Amino acid sequence: MRRVAFALLLAAALAMFAWTLRRFLRMFLAARPESRTDQPLDRVDSVLRYFFAQKKVVEETTIPSKRWPRFVSWMGSKYHFLIFWGFIVITIGSAETLIQGLFPTFSLRLILGDTLGAVLYHMIDVFCALVLAVIVFAFFRRIVLQPRLIPMSRDAAAILSAIALLMVTYFGMHTDNPVLAEVSWWAHVVILLAFLNYLLYSKHSHIIAALPNIYFRNLGQRGVLPKLNLEADDIAATGVVQGWKDFTWKSQLDGFACTECARCTNFCPAYNTGKPLSPMQVVHDLREDLRAHMPDRGPLDTLLERFQHGDAAAAKALDPDRPLIGGRTTEEVLWACTTCGACQEVCPVFIDQPEKILQMRQNLVLVQEKVPADLARTFTNLERNGNPWGIGADKRMDWAEGLGVPTLDDRPDAEYLLWVGCAGAFDDRIKKQTQALVEVLREGGVDFAVLGLEEGCTGDPARRAGNEMLYQMQAQQNVETMNAKKVKKVVTACPHCLHTIKNEYPQLGGNFEVRHHTQLIRELVETGKIEMPVGDAPLGPKGKPKITFHDPCYLGRWNGEYDAPRAVLDALPTGRDGFAELPRNRDHGFCCGAGGGRMWMEEKIGTRVNHNRTDEILATGAETVATACPFCTIMLRDGVADRNAAERVAVLNVSELVAKSMKRKRELEGRAAEAAAAAPTRT
Ligand code: SF4
Ligand code: SF4
C-alpha cells in the first residue's frame, strides 16, 4: 500500500515537473536562436570550475559591512558554497530515499559496500547538520543583517524553510522510533517533490538553470554586440529586441539562472552613485516578462505569483501587456549604464547584463525614437562632422601641426596605422596625449602613419548609446577606408577604439591586428627600444606612493589587459616601490563614468561616478594618477578639479609619463655630457 501510494505521488510529481519543463522549452524554442555548442571541453571545464568549485563565489571580494565584524560579511558572501555542497551530498541521500519508496530493500550501502556506504552516510549526516546551521545563518542574515538588495521575501522564506525541513525530516527518518521515522519519511518525500516542482517558479530556479547557463556561457570575445541587419524590411528581421521573444534563448535562460546574490548590483558604479539602475533588477525584469508570456499560463502562475508577491504586485507582474522596455525596465534605468562590465565580471553564473541593457537601448532609439536631448546632439555631431565633439572634420589633424606626422598616403607601407581617435584629435587636453604618444613611438622606432582627415569616429559612442544605424554608417566607412589602404596592424590611443576596431569591425569585414598603445609601449620598453632613467626617489613625501593607476573598463574588463600599463609604469623612474594600486583595481576596477555614451550625457541623478573614483584616488596620497584612456583622463581631471586637488594630483596618460621620463633621461644625459666636457683633461 505504501509503495502504491508513493508511486502515485512520484508519478504525479514527475509529470508536473515534465509539464513545467516543457513550458520552458517551448519558450526557449520561440526565442532567437544562438549557437553555444562549440568547444565542449572548455564548457565542461567551466562547469567544473564555476559550478562545482563555485570559483566566483569563493574568490569574490567581500563587500565589507560597517555594521558587522568582517567574519559576518565574509560568511555572507561564502555561505552559498556550503549550502551548494551540502545540497549535492544530501541529494544523494534524497535519491536513495526516493528509490527506497519504490524498492524498500534498496540501499547505497549495497552498491558501495559497508565501509564506503558508512562513510557516505556519515558525510550526509554531517552536511545535513551543516546546512541546518547555514540556514539559520541565512535567516539571521536576511532578517537581522538585512544586506542591501537581499531582503527576506516570502519566496526566500519558503525555500529556506523547505530546505531546513528536509534536513530535519532526514534526521527523523533515521531515528529508532518507527512512528517518527515513518512520519518523517513521508514528510521528507512530500517536501522534496513539492520543492522540485516549486523551484522553476521561484528565485531558486537557478538550482536547475545555473548549470546549463554556465555550460552555455559565452566563450568568445566579451562585450561584442550582435550586428543588426538594418537592410531588413521587417523590424523583427533586423534583430532589434522588442520584447521577450527577441532575446536569444540563452538570454532568456540568464533570467532563470540568476541566484539573486546581488553581486552585480553591489559592484555597479551607477547603483553605487544613486542611479536607479540595478543590473540584478534588469535581469529580474526580463524574467518577470518571460513569466508573463510563458506558454500555457493559468491559475497556477497566478497562485504562485500571489503567494510570492501579494495580489497587486502579482497582477502587475503577470500582465502580458506591460511592456518590458521602458515599462518593467524604465528608460532612466537603461540610460544610467556606463557599460563598464563590472556586473558581468562578478556574476557567478555568467549572466550578460550589459548586452541586455544595450539591446533595450537599441529599441528605445531605433523603434521608440526616445533619445535624451544631450545624446541627440551627439548623434547630430557624429552625422555632420564624424566626431561627437561636433568640431569640423577638417580640423582632425590640427593636433599634428608642426610634428610632421605622416599619413598612410605619405607612407603606404607603414607597419602600423596609429588610430588617433576623436578625443585625441579634437579635445585640447587629449591632443597633448596624442603628441606624447607620437614622441614615444618615434623614440621606439615604430614605423607608423595616420589616416589623417580620412579617419572618422569608430562609432563606439553611437553603438553603446543604442544607435546601431549611425554606428554602422561610421564603422562601414572606416572599414572601407582601411581596407582600401591595405591596413594590417593598428595601434590605438583609446581602449574604446581598440575594442570596436578589434572586436566589432570583423562583423563588417574589417579584420585587423589591433593593439592598445600601452601594449606596444610595453614591448618597446621590454626590448630596450625605449629607455628611461632609473629613479632615485621612488616614494613621495611621507613615504606616500607617487603613482597609482586607474584601469579603463574597455582595456581591462572587456579586453583582459591589466598588465601592460602596469609593466610600463614599473619601468618609470618611480619604479615598483613608487606605485600603489587603488583599492578597486583590475577586474574590480571602478568605472570613471564615461562609457556607454555617458560621456555625452548630463549626470543628473545621485552623485557623480567620477567623484566616487576621484575620492578613492585622492585617499592613496599619490601625486599622479596614470590613465590609459582619453575618456578616463577627462573624467578624472574634472573629478580632481572638482575636489580642488588639481594642484597636488596630476592626471596623466601612461604615454605622457613615458614621454616625460624620456625627456628627463635626455636632460640627465645632456648634463652628464656637459659635465664630462667641462671636466679638466689630463695630459
Ligand atoms: S555595465 Fe556597469 S554600469 Fe552597466 S549595469 Fe553593469 S555594472 Fe552597472
Ligand atoms: S545577475 Fe548574476 S551577479 Fe547579479 S544577482 Fe543574478 S546571479 Fe548575482
**Is the CB of 262 inside a 6 Å radius of any atom of ligand 2?**
yes
% of the chain with per-residue pLDDT over 90: 81
- The secondary structure of residue 578, as a DSSP letter, is G
CB distance 199 to ligand 2 below 6 Å: no
Q: How far is the CA of 279 from the centre of ligand 1 (A)?
A: 7
Cα first-last separation, the chain: 119
> What rounded mean pLDDT belongs to the chain?
93
pLDDT over 60 at 65, yes or no: no
Q: Is the CB of 167 under 6 A from ligand 1?
A: no
Contacts of 255 (CB under 8 A, 6+ apart): 283, 284, 286, 287, 290
Atom of ligand 2 nearest to the CA of 283: 1
Dump pLDDT digits (tens) for 327-366.
999 999 999 999 999 999 999 999 999 999 999 999 999 9
**For residue 264, how far is its CA from the centre of ligand 2 (angstroms)?**
5
Supply 331's cell numbers: 528608460
Least confident of 39-53, 457-471, 532-546, 664-678: 532-546
pLDDT per residue as tens digits for the range 378-387: 999 999 999 9
d(CA 430, CA 424): 5
Closest atom of ligand 2 to CA, residue 353: 1
SS3 33: coil
pLDDT higher for 580 or 544? 580
Helix (H, G, I), strand (E, B) or coil at 581: strand
Q: Tens digits of per-residue pLDDT, 535-577?
A: 656 666 666 678 999 999 999 999 999 999 999 999 998 888 8
pLDDT at 89: 87
Q: Which of 448, 447, 467, 449 is nearest to 457 (CA)?
A: 467
Select from 264, 259, 286 the least CA-distant residue to 277.
264
Which range among 501-510, 575-584, 633-642 shows the weakest confidence by mean pLDDT?
575-584
Note the pTM of the prediction, 2 decimals: 0.94
Residue 61 in this model has a pLDDT that exceeds 60: no
**Atom number of ligand 2 nearest to Cα 206:** 7
Q: Is the pLDDT of residue 90 over 60?
A: yes
Distance of alpha carbon 487 from alpha carbon 466, whole angstroms: 28
Ligand lying closest to the C-alpha of residue 257:
2
Q: What is the pLDDT of residues 231-277, one digit of tens each?
A: 998 888 999 999 999 999 999 999 999 999 899 999 999 999 999 99
164 in Cβ contact with 135 (< 8 Å): yes
Q: What angle do CA 321, 325, 331 make, to 5 degrees?
A: 130
The per-residue pLDDT for 533 is 83
